[in-house]
Structure formats: structure tokens, C-alpha cells
Amino acid sequence: MALSKKQKAEEIRMILDELFPEVGIPLQHKDAYTLLVAVLLSAQCTDERVNKVTPALFKLADKPKTMSLLELEQIQEIIRPCGLSTNKAKAIKSLSEILQNQYKGQVPRDIDILETLPGVGHKTASVVMCQAFGVPAFPVDTHIHRLAWRWGLSSGKNVVQTENDLKKLFPKESWNKLHLQMIYFGRKFCPARGHKKEECPICSLFGRKGI
């Protein structure tokens, strides 16, 4: 008898727990603010590249106050390897000014406020909520979106729908760890290109036909 979507999700969660029992946050940071900046920089850029750039940036400024005092050009020059450096530098400087002036230099523990900050979308805000503050969230990027579709857990046409589908299938207490497990799994076993279904520990069992 075919498994229900909920049963399939539980089987997948068990596989992920076995393969990745412990998962660390791939972006180097030391607090909510540095995580926020690092996640912002990771848009259309690899975590590996971000981790090469942020030490120099955070050596210069690792608090909203010091970052807001930097010249825009200083920020842009350091983060240039991450791509989209003009927009990202403006966002980093602007959100730092807002945090300093309106929130006493602290990152608010409120996803709705975070999403109002320059350059901070729902996914970035969700990462900060779950990884900096431990609040259950399920950040969905294009990689998790791809895996959820391949595994038949969501037919979502966008990341918002996929996020809603995954939240319904998995226990709330597993979300924060699970989104990282899926990221690591995707990198190792289920890449966008060169994917071999028969060699993938999950797609070989639950993958859609034709992938």
C-alpha cells in the first residue's frame, strides 16, 4: 500500500536524521546581527564565498553602530565577491542605521519587523528567527523548494507554498534542524545538476517519476 504524504515525510525525516544527526549553521557568525548580514550576503552567492568575505567585514564593523558609520564604498569593496554588491551594501548600511536608531542596536526578535528591514525578505528573516533565536521556522530557499518537489512533498509553484506544505507535514519542533538537514542533503546527494536518482538515498525511494 502506498504511503501517505505524512508517512513519507516521516520516513524522509528519519533518513535525514540518520545521515545528518548533527548540523551546524553553514554561515559563520557570532550573534543575531552578524547572522543577519551573512544571510543577506548569501543571496545568489555560495555560503563558502560569504564565509571568505565576512571576516574582513566584521573585523571592520560587527555591530549596527559601527557598520552604520562606515562609508558605503567601504562596505561595497569588501563584499564585492558576493555579487550584487551595490544593492547589498546599501541594504547593510541602511538596516544597520535602522537597528541602531530604532532598536537600540539590537536585532528584533520579531519576524514581521525583520521583514521590513532593507534587503531582508521572508527567507532571511526566517533563518534569523530559527537559528539566532530558536523560534520554529522553516526557511525555504530554491534548493529546499527543489527537494520538496522531487520528493513529492509539495507541488508548490513558489517557495511560499512549499513552506506551507512542509510545515503541515513535519513536526514543528523539527523545523529548525530539518531545513539545515535538507540543505546539506541537497548539496551531497541531490544537486540541481548531475543528479542521479538511483544514487540518491531519498529520490531512489520516494522521488517523482521522470526526475
Q: Where are the domains of the chain?
A: 5-24+138-206, 32-132
| Residues 139, 126: Cα–Cα separation, whole Å | 5
Closest-CA residue to 27 (of 144, 166, 132, 160): 132
Same fold, 5-24+138-206 and 32-132: no
| CATH (residue range 32-132) | 1.10.340.30
> One of 52, 141, 157, 167 is an active-site residue; which one?
141
DSSP assignment of 126-186:
HHHHHHHS--------HHHHHHHHHTTS---SSHHHHHHHHHHHS-GGGHHHHHHHHHHHH
> One of 8, 88, 93, 123 is an active-site residue; which one?
123
Task: Note the pLDDT tens digit of each residue in 154-210.
Answer: 988 899 999 999 999 999 999 999 999 999 999 999 998 888 899 999 999 998 887
Q: For 124-129, what is the mean pLDDT?
A: 96
| Residues 124, 140: Cα–Cα separation, whole Å | 9
pLDDT of residue 156: 80
Note whether 189 and 147 are within 8 A (CB): no
Whether 168 is a known active-site residue: answer no
Quickly name the fold that domain 5-24+138-206 has.
Endonuclease Iii, domain 2 (1.10.1670)
pLDDT of residue 1: 58
Whether 157 is a known active-site residue: answer no
| Residues 165, 136: Cα–Cα separation, whole Å | 15
86 has a pLDDT exceeding 80: yes
Task: Note the pLDDT tens digit of each residue in 1-54.
Answer: 578 899 999 999 999 999 999 999 999 999 999 999 999 999 989 999 999 999
Confidence of residue 62 (pLDDT cuts 50, 70, 90): very high
Q: For 115-141, what is the mean pLDDT?
A: 95
Q: pTM of the predicted model, to two decimals?
A: 0.91
